[in-house]
Amino acid sequence: EVQLVQSGGVVVQPGGSLRLSCAVSGFTFDDYAMYWVRQAPGKGLEWVSLTSWDGGRKDYSDSVKGRFTISRDNNKNSLYLQMNSLKPEDTALYYCARGRRGELLRPSFDYWGQGTLVTVSS
């Protein structure tokens, strides 16, 4: 069974940092590109970042570029999102998601984690 298990929610002050994690099981992790998608309260979905199977290709939305860093550890079957210089507008439910195999740059997301609520507030 494919599972993506995310770390718990957290409150962080503006300007602070946080690392989200997503532990996967049930599939060969290094066969797949992985993604982060977020949903602000009462809002729609927003793609945040992608990493290729080996971490060689990474991309970010303009809203997080320069502040967030995606990474993966294929030995630990884990995906990460390092979030720095956090702003109140980064408050959202953050999902990790798997891209369908072979669709790195034209992905549909076939499995999702349960989400991690990040609240940026003083």
Partner 1 sequence: DIQMTQSPSSVSASLGDTVTITCRASQGIGSWLAWYQLTPGQAPKLLIYRASTLQSGVPSRFSGSGSGTDFTLTINNLQPEDFVTYYCQQADTIPYTFGRGTQLQIK
32 forms part of the interface with partner 1 (CB under 8 A): no
Q: Which is nearer to partner 1, 7 or 59 (CB)?
A: 59
Residue 53 Cα distances to 9, 17, 43, 97, 106, angstroms? 26, 25, 30, 13, 14
When binding is defined by CB under 8 A, the residue of 62, 66, 75, 122 that contacts partner 1 is 62
Q: Tokens 């729609």 appear where?
A: 44
87's CB contacts (< 8 A; 6+ apart) are 14, 120
Asked if 105 is part of the footprint of partner 1 (rule: CB under 8 A), the reply reads yes
Q: Rule CB under 8 A: which residues touch partner 1? A: 4, 44-47, 50, 59, 61-62, 95, 97, 100, 103, 105-115
